[in-house]
Amino acid sequence: MLILAGCGGGSGDHAEKRVRGTGYAFSAPAEWQVSRRPMEVRLEDGTDLLSVHRYALQRDFEPQLWAKVVPELDRAADQVAAQQNGTVTERKTVKIAGLDARHYEVDYEHDGKELTEELGFVLRGKSEYLLLCRYERGGDADACERLLATFALSRKG
């Protein structure tokens, strides 16, 4: 159900571009390179990474099930951290695209660099969206903040 991608740096003064995927859109740094796969949009700039993965759910998500879904998402974030030999350092419910969403920060080390990955899980209808961003720990998280703040779902998405 869950796969990784990433988010990262940039300054608030940098130019933005609107990036569209199937059923969603978000703002990202204009200079970052975009690559697309059938269920993923990914942008990279060195170590920094932004991605949105769309997964099909077996049945419609109903908002009243949120309390039952949170422990499942928490376990998924723990699994992601374990895959990275890292630690979930923050977990909370936030609003993304006007919906309750789950947000996590995972700290880990890779190739001698200390990294942070932020995960955001958004559920609507028969779709789960995994927003993921990666940046060097303590570095500029502007691109990540932009992804989470500007992510929007289309009516039919």
Look at domain 4-8+14-27+44-54+96-157 and name its CATH class: alpha beta
Q: Using an 8 Å Cβ cutoff, are 45 and 31 in contact? A: yes
- Domains of the chain: which residue ranges? 4-8+14-27+44-54+96-157
Residues, the chain = 157
Supply φ then ψ for residue 142, to 5 degrees.
Answer: -60, -45
pTM value?
0.87
For residue range 69-85, list pLDDT tens digits in order. Answer: 999 999 999 999 999 99
For residue range 96-123, list pLDDT tens digits in order. Answer: 999 999 999 999 999 999 999 999 999 9
For each of the chain's 157 residues, which pLDDT tens digit applies?
333 333 333 444 569 999 999 999 999 999 999 999 989 999 999 999 999 999 999 999 999 999 999 999 999 999 999 999 999 999 999 999 999 999 999 999 999 999 999 999 999 999 999 999 999 999 999 999 999 999 999 975 4
Start-to-end Cα distance in the chain = 18
